[in-house]
Structure 1
């Protein structure tokens, strides 16, 4: 074992290997005995491909090379495809049109016509087999740049130009779901200033001659969140509600709502994208579900009649996209020691199989850091949570008395959560001698409604305090070097990063990935879905414009005294590039070291392999220059302006 300074350790986990062997897995769909999922492939410029697995274990790409299965409803998309009786229906990213494809055909057929200004987008697709039509959420963008119009529509598959608006009038819609005989439609809706985790309505209407009548409110409201409505064969409607302060499972039958199983845990997720699933019906008697406690996800079966919950013995601590048919359960599962896989469980045989790995990279465990769940004190006597990763490399030990540099990760959202699943980007840092702490600051999901609402009116305060206190806690424990503390985050996490660097002096460097520097600009120059998000997180705008300015790093650059690197997609509509550019210019004027790395073809989040690699190595190079250590490998420099 060699003695070497932290940061200079040679690691087998390289940026090249991470992007070469990594894909994203999501959006599982079951059709008969066939299993489908989406693969997001950085090696193909971030293209998303529908993959099919047949009963005999054969895998095949369904999506031809010229197509990218993705939509941008709410800008984040989701539920971009569905399958029914061997026919695939999907949204294509390049033209926003819907296509259908018979599995015997190599090329898809157009369902919706291409419009000159490409104003319509589609999500949350479901088939109405009784009327040969597609029901989905439609988002229409007017060329006058007025706010987008969201509705639930039906599209006649025999005459696609005959699109009918089934539900309209609310600002947002999601989850249109037909019951078994097609006589009822359930859906979710909500209005500004709410987002779907603030308050939603679950409604049900009768379907008469293809149209809806007698809509009725089942559950929800301005302060009750409803997640994943799903019909059972007997016309019972299941859903998740947070009415008790925790997202628990409920059912609606005979016009009565009753709880299925009460637990101080979260059975739901913040609905940033469409089509998320945390439970599925297994026959008539059971529900397979996943729930989160203290940031860890568990898999379980619930007996519907008794409400009894039984934990299933699986290694996964991060579970998503649960689907079931008969006694077969399929989901995306990950753990601290493994990246995300598509996993199938046979409940009768009690067997488990991995159908697809998201990453083929094989690394000796001696180079992998095991996350530790920590609780630490924070502002006003509160407790916050995080996953701490110690520096780990079997080939090295640090110099005597040296403490490691610490990278604090501030997750995006901010209504989201850090996961403890194996992430080779995190291991890239720890195997080179960095400690990493991934903070679930106040506002994060998975710790109950009260914890989530700690951030109300205090974005830029609570999150910054919690990230700062996580770093100080680890310094006090002797696990980090107080002079080499860095903070990094993307999107909302980028704002937390910039606010921590501007309004505090704990951190000595930072990295902002498409982060916000001017809250007022975000409030006035973002897309519809998030255009009123800051009403809750900050205050209504423009009535409280002074608060927005007081919490915007851009207006307090005179307080900055440490270097920052910015990474920005130039096609980003969520956080436009001018947010980063204004901050970069201000830092240059102060002659503080700053780097600005742009990606012309990226949007909000990076999907292309070369860009993912460039951002990862660029951030590491930046810290090497600032903290004064020598990387073990040669890294392409980024320009640091002073």
Structure 2
């Protein structure tokens, strides 16, 4: 399940279609009635940035969604009829958001014409006359176009190569003229060293957004007459790196109450923020991972992946926040063996590295140990249930899921600690974790195994080349050719290497030299040539 969204009468979400689990379908619940809202044969998925996100939106005239087959916009009316709203063969749509006119929506549009990179812009899509007007263009990327309830102003996030949106973006605001143009544009916040995300128009007219200017993304409010005000100061991350568009980590329940989902050292925290007096109250959560918090009036919903139950759509009430209602999923899982333990161990140069450790049941220590390397490398290992981990521990393996330097959930400085040393820094952190468990008598040094995918596959290769004491490794679609990423990666991440290893010729040569100067580091995992057969 994914992307729960409430309105005044219902709660909606995406779920795998019963007849075809590769397709996502919009479901909803109104009262106690479960509704399937997109018909069989129609999948919901966006391919903007290749990762998609924000591929559907409820409106007063029905559910608007992006079709997975042709990337066109469709609308499901209240009587179940489906309308083909808009779709050029060259265009993709994502991050859909509402307009006061229910026949219009704002969207991030990706247009592919000819060779070279696709063009991205903010479009205003008219489902009545099947047109899409360009509102904002010129930047390399756009995110989160949001029109205010009066239809007079629009805000959006933009950024350019070589930055990623968690490194540096700008929040801009403009007025929508009577001719449909965006005029009087101002930059509210952001720079190449400040990431601004998740803008939202508040119930009293202000513009709210996330900024990591203090090192941790927190909530701010901007008003043209009052400037920018910080609304909370937690050493925790509000929001996550937007590999997917349409993310949501906070929302308004009334004029002065904000519900917000923070992450502190890979652990979720749900808070109620009182904007009147600045106080906050934490709402208890079981072990697990809470994402896509969305609020509409009295309905506060989120997707929750617990450690021992199936993913669930949960809904909280303002009156009894400690007892959320399960709308969908959340059943006990067969084959559950053990919940993770959050541990910390010392890393290189005084770093504190967090990881989740799973002990196999009915097996005495020291255990054979499987180390899992997450992708990204800005992703984050969490305590959410993972069937693969439960299978591994059922076979007698302990599992160490490491949040090495570069992971999200620990603040900007921790994520940027991998700058210029991807394929090296996180390898060191994992080796330190292994030594820690061996010293504690929890792992057998003679029975060590590795697994990783994508960027985590590169980490696995790096470990294998430097440390020969592993018995086996599993790699899924690993990164193996660091210096060609700029040529082969999608536009969204094509310049990511300039941050992780250095993208210019001089930086790349310096990276090669640093690797070759240390024994074992000239392995294929770090060379300019891909590893054959991987």
Q: TM-score, normalised by structure 1?
A: 0.78
- 1:54 corresponds to which of 30, 53, 56: 30
Q: Which residue of 2 aligns with 1:583?
A: 531
Pair 1:34 & 2:5 matched: no
Deviation at 1:508?
2.9
Deviation at 1:379?
1.5
Pair 1:303 & 2:279 matched: no
- 1:538 corresponds to which of 470, 485, 501: 501
Q: 1:247 to 1:217 in 2, by over 3 A?
A: same
| Unaligned stretches of 5+ residues in structure 2 | none
Pair 1:65 & 2:48 matched: no
Q: Which whole-Å deviations, capped at 9, do the CAs of 1:1-27 have from their partners, x for residues lacking one?
A: xxxxxxxxxxxxxxxxxxxxxxxx111
SS of corresponding position for 1:481: strand
The count of aligned residue pairs is 527
- 1:92 corresponds to which of 64, 67, 80: 67
- 2:172 corresponds to which of 203, 208, 216: 203
Q: Which residue of 2 aligns with 1:112?
A: 86
| Unaligned stretches of 5+ residues in structure 1 | 1-24, 565-578, 586-595, 597-642
Q: Within 5 Å, which residues of 2 pair with 1:141-540?
A: 141-144=112-115, 146-160=116-130, 162-209=131-178, 210-253=180-223, 254-315=225-286, 317-350=288-321, 351-357=323-329, 361-363=333-335, 368-392=337-361, 396-397=362-363, 403-540=366-503
SS of corresponding position for 1:524: helix
Q: For 2:171 and 2:437, how far apart are their aligned partners in 1?
A: 44
Q: For 2:469 and 2:228, how far apart are their aligned partners in 1?
A: 50
Q: Which whole-Å deviations, capped at 9, do the CAs of 1:516-553 have from their partners, x for residues lacking one?
A: 11112222211100010010111023343335656899
Which piece of structure 1 moves more, 543-552 or 434-443?
A: 543-552
SS of corresponding position for 1:405: strand
Q: 1:208 to 1:292 in 2, by over 3 A?
A: same
Deviation at 1:315?
2.3
Q: 1:538 to 1:358 in 2, by over 3 A?
A: farther
Contact 2:6 2:300 in 1 (8 A): no
Which piece of structure 1 moves more, 249-258 or 217-226?
A: 249-258
Q: For 1:234 and 1:358, how far apart are their aligned partners in 2?
A: 36
Q: Which residue of 2 aligns with 1:139?
A: 110
Q: For 1:408 and 1:169, how far apart are their aligned partners in 2?
A: 44
Q: For 1:505 and 1:299, how far apart are their aligned partners in 2?
A: 43
Deviation at 1:380?
1.9
Deviation at 1:129?
2.6
Alpha-carbon RMSD: 2.4
Q: Which residue of 2 aligns with 1:638?
A: none
Q: For 1:540 and 1:583, how far apart are their aligned partners in 2?
A: 20
SS of corresponding position for 1:482: strand
Contact 2:97 2:107 in 1 (8 A): yes
SS of corresponding position for 2:485: helix
Q: Which whole-Å deviations, capped at 9, do the CAs of 1:147-193 have from their partners, x for residues lacking one?
A: 11100011222211x32110001000000011111111010001111
- 2:97 corresponds to which of 123, 126, 130: 126
Deviation at 1:437?
0.7
Q: TM-score, normalised by structure 2?
A: 0.93
Contact 2:5 2:295 in 1 (8 A): no
Q: Which whole-Å deviations, capped at 9, do the CAs of 1:36-91 have from their partners, x for residues lacking one?
A: 00113597242111111112x11122122212100111111100110112501111
Q: Which whole-Å deviations, capped at 9, do the CAs of 1:467-510 have from their partners, x for residues lacking one?
A: 22212211221111112211211111111111111233243321
Q: Which residue of 1 aligns with 2:50?
A: 75
Structure with the higher fraction of residues in strand conformation: 2
Deviation at 1:112?
1.6
Q: For 2:38 and 2:124, how far apart are their aligned partners in 1?
A: 24
Deviation at 1:128?
1.5
Q: For 1:559 and 1:405, how far apart are their aligned partners in 2?
A: 29
Q: 1:358 to 1:526 in 2, by over 3 A?
A: farther
Contact 1:252 1:258 in 2 (8 A): yes
Q: Which whole-Å deviations, capped at 9, do the CAs of 1:230-282 have from their partners, x for residues lacking one?
A: 11122111111000111111111224100101111111211111111111011
Q: Which residue of 1 aligns with 2:20?
A: 44
Q: For 1:40 and 1:489, how far apart are their aligned partners in 2?
A: 25
Deviation at 1:348?
1.9
Q: 1:359 to 1:423 in 2, by over 3 A?
A: farther
Q: For 1:151 and 1:61, how far apart are their aligned partners in 2?
A: 32
Q: For 1:142 and 1:550, how far apart are their aligned partners in 2?
A: 40
Q: For 2:247 and 2:201, how far apart are their aligned partners in 1?
A: 15
SS of corresponding position for 1:483: strand
